[in-house]
A and B are shown apart, each in its own frame.
Chain A
Amino acid sequence: MKECLQEEVLQSYLDGELHERRREQVTSHLASCITCSDLTRQLEQENSVLAAALAPEFEAAVPSERLRQRIDAAIAANRLEAVAGNERAVNVRDWLSSLSDLFTLRPQRTLAYASLMVIIGFGVIMAMMRWQTTPLQSTNPVVATFPPAPNQEPTTTPAPISSVPSSAPARTNSTITAVPNNRRRRSTAVIAPASSRQNETAANHVKLLPGERSYLQTIAQLDLTIKSDKGRMKPDVQAEYQRNLAFVDRTLAVARTAAKSNPNDPDATEFMFSAYQSKVDLLNTVAEARVIDKPK
């Protein structure tokens, strides 16, 4: 007779945890050993009793399974995030490495960088020039260049030009708040900064003599025409034009001051209008010179 099996071996036998060969050996031993077979029956009874008693606990294992699934899902998610993080890190590393590669100067790349710097520099210069030009235009409207008359007489509340259509007839003792031209006024309104309000206030005190408005309108229109076509003007013509314009403006300022100082002197007024006409003639000549395209 063979030696009886230990209880742990039998328990493992009942739990199905033995290998196939060992299980066959135990089965043949239980067939020939009454003691071991009785012990096995007792263990089976205890297992059934224990299973009945722990049945609720076995049911409660389901949430644990779901929990495990959730945990597995969370772990999987963490793994994905970790993988994604690794990928981002790899991307950043790649980007940084590519960026550092950009600064690795080779002859072709150096040439390209130099061209790019030239273009950027040119753009910056043009932007600065435009930025500097715009405030100048806004603070120097055509009519604001006239000096205020030294002996201005008090007048009734004048109507500002900005409230009068450009086609309106000349009105006595009007004040200047903008260039008397619709298109020009619009552009002036756009470029006039709030800081130029003081200049506008000063210009409000410049009183127009009868007939001045029409000259100012004509001058503004001609000036606009010339400026719109300024690119075609040859440099020497441009210089000559500016020189003569300075002459005319200076003369006009003097004549206007005299006319304002002597409001009852028709000769002074006539000289002022003569100076205005000189400016119109100059602008007309320049504007006409632009249209040499083909013979009539």
Chain B
Amino acid sequence: MKFKVVIISFLLVLPASVAYADGHGGKSGTQKIERSIAALPTVAVSICVDSGDVTVRGWDKNEVLARSSEVGRIELKRPDAGNQSAAANKVLVWLADKSEEPNEKGGCHAFGDVELIVPRGASLYLQTGDGTIDVRGVASVFARSETGDISIQKASRSVEALSFSGEISVENSTGRMAMKSVSGVVSAANLRPNDQNDCFEASTISGDIQLDGVDHQQITLKTANGKIDLSGPLAHQGRYTFNTTSGDVTLSLPANSSFRLNARVARDREVTSDFPLTLTIEDPVPVLPRLPNPAPPAPPAPAPRTIVKANPEAKDQVVVVIDPQEKTIKVKPVTVKTLYSLRRISAVHGSGDALITIASFTGTIHLIDSGN
């Protein structure tokens, strides 16, 4: 009899305790955890999560604050084991899931969205597996996401963003820029360099690259199968290098643009231009037969040039086959189709201030007059 009473009591107590535990856990799941630490204005902050969104905002306080309602614990660790009472110059945001024991390593294995607020001069090192990264108002950003999007705004010193399939977007920022994605689109808008050494680099495999209003003097874009679109004014004495294997290159430039164009395209691909271009096409060097007593070499003769000038009367685009024997062809707009043996196209528009070097194996090059 006593045994039955014990069993029944146990069966009644067990569900009640489970229900209490669930209710207790649910309460803590919605509870927001928040940690902060005093930091230098140029503090370096790093965080790594396996899955979850990372949002970072800059503020005017010399303090790093981290909060989340989804992780079990947050710790702000100081890798610089110096004076613990002084402001930190390095902070590691350490996260742990609710299921993890206190001694487990946490870090990149944690799941959950995290929000960081850091000094505006902070440098960030952010990594997430499949979450998004959203940063605004800091100095330097290194951001890497496997499949999530990366969005960076108002970075003041440098940006380096890597994503496998996520989209990378950088806007209203200054400094050195480097972006790399496999299949995600890379877009940049309203970017300025801090000095002449700041360059802009972006590369993808199949993702498109879109630049609008990027004022860097040195811009290097490379994609295998994606398209390259650049719009906005060219920088004074800018150096632009575009390399695609099969994607098109489209440059939308103001009417007053001044540039030199060195393009290499496949023999059956075209270069279309709204701008009147002065083309220079070098003929292949003839192979001379060897003579028994060769005469002293003659000075090299200037290569024959083919010039394309604007034709104001022309309204529609005209495909013009440039032959080395032709001297002058006047059309506007002009579409240049290369001959079998012509793969390099050198052209000048205006005074030739900026240098544009384009290599596209099977793509088409478009130079569009945006009119502004």
- Name A residues whose Cβ lies closer than 8 Å to a Cβ of B: 234, 236-237, 240-241, 243-244, 247-248, 251, 254-255, 258, 265, 267, 270-271, 274-275, 278, 281-282, 285-286, 288-289, 292-296
Contacts and interface: CB of A to CB of B under 8 A. Distances in A.
5 closest A-B pairs by beta carbon, nearest first, are A295-B46, A278-B224, A295-B48, A271-B361, A244-B205
12 contacts: A237-B146, A240-B164, A243-B183, A251-B246, A254-B362, A267-B343, A274-B245, A275-B224, A275-B361, A292-B144, A293-B108, A296-B125
A6 to B, nearest CB: 96
A275 B205 CA distance: 10
Contacts of B203: 281
Contacts of B180: 285
B147 interface: yes
Contacts of A265: 343
A240 B205 CA distance: 11
Given A255-B361, A281-B203, A237 B147 contact: yes
Contacts of A296: 46, 125
Interface of B: 46-48, 92, 107-108, 125, 127, 129-130, 144, 146-147, 162, 164-165, 180, 182-183, 203, 205-206, 224-225, 243, 245-246, 264, 266, 343-344, 359, 361-362
Nearest to B361: A271
Nearest to B284: A264
Given A255-B361, A285-B182, A295 B344 contact: no
Contacts of A258: 266, 361
B130 A234 contact: yes
A270 B357 CA distance: 14
A244 B184 CA distance: 11
Contacts of B343: 265, 267
Contact of A247 (B107, B125, B130, B205): B205
Give the residue among B144, B162, B245, B359 with the most A Cβ atoms within 10 A: B245
A275 B127 contact: no
Contacts of B359: 267, 270-271, 274
Contacts of A274: 243, 245, 359, 361
Contacts of B92: 295
B305 to A, nearest CB: 20
A292 B108 CA distance: 7
Contacts of B129: 234, 292
Contacts of A255: 245, 361
Contacts of A248: 205, 224-225
A274 B264 CA distance: 13
Contacts of B205: 244, 247-248, 278, 281-282, 285
